[in-house]
Structure formats: C-alpha cells, structure tokens
Chain A
C-alpha cells in the first residue's frame, strides 16, 4: 500500500511543492515512479527509478527517497503544474499506486 500525503496541497505559483509517498513495506529496488494527471488526460510520467526525470520533464521536478519514504519536489510551481500527482511502485507485484495528491492554486 502506498499512502500519499498531503491529499491536497494549496500553493501559489512560484512556491515549492513537496509531495510524500509512504510505502507499507520497504523497497530494496528503485522501481518507483511519479506521474502527473490533468482532468480528462492520461497520466504523464515525470520520474522513474526514484529520481530519473522522464523525457521532456522540466528540471524543476525531482524525485528522491528510499526504503519506505519517497518524495516528489517541484522547486517552483508553474501554472501548468497544478494537477493531481500519483506515486507508483513497480518492484513488487501486484504493482500499486498511491491515492493521489492534488496540487491546487491557493
């Protein structure tokens, strides 16, 4: 089970966003990813392998963590970053996602 916190993050453009994802079991692999989803769209891969940015993802997005605690950081929020974010583990089947965290405009 992946638990994301906070469920909703209200911030202003230019602020820093820190999203957390806690796993119920410790991961020894680095099979951990983050996605962004906007209404009516498929998820977009942001981070894979804990800390690798996917192609075309701006460097304001970064991922970190190990074991049971993982973090997605958006250094300076741009207007297009207000969306829902999901964490995802793909090291232990069945693969699971967090419940999502919404970043909305304060």
Chain B
C-alpha cells in the first residue's frame, strides 16, 4: 500500500459528460501529480500541484483541470468527455519531487 488513495476505482460515463477524480496524498507529502495511462501512450504527465499551487503542466487538455485543496487532497476534473479520454488516471504524491508514490488509479470508461 503506497499510502495514496484514489476514488473512485472505476467510472463509467457517456460522451459529453463531466467527472471528478479524487486523490488523497501520503501523509506529509505536499506534491501531487496526475498521470494518464493508455495502452498506446504509456504514462503521460498531466499536471503537478505543490501545497495548493500549480507547479507544472504536461500534456493536459484544456477540457481537463485540477486543483489541490488546503488539506492537500487533489481533484482532477474532466469535462466534455470523448471516447479517447478512456484511460487509467493515476495520482502520485512525493516529498522530494523525484520518487513518486502512486495510487491504484481510476479506470475511466467513456461510452
């Protein structure tokens, strides 16, 4: 158990809808990262938050957004969903921004 908690584990929704993925980092970790994993693209960095502030953006679509709250949990919001957004979404936390500890992921299926 990495100590990183993600909910829900599975999410099935329709095209055009909006969903929210939730992540609780390990106790004491200020950094939260979001990654998308698909079969053809591997693990792709989406966005990084540190202590409530956005630190870096990767290949994140404009339809996607995230935030980190004062209690350090983070949410990833995906809107106007398309079939191609179906993927595993992972949250990771870190103390040193090098070794990342990953949650078990949210499997998103857009039908």
* Real binding pair: no
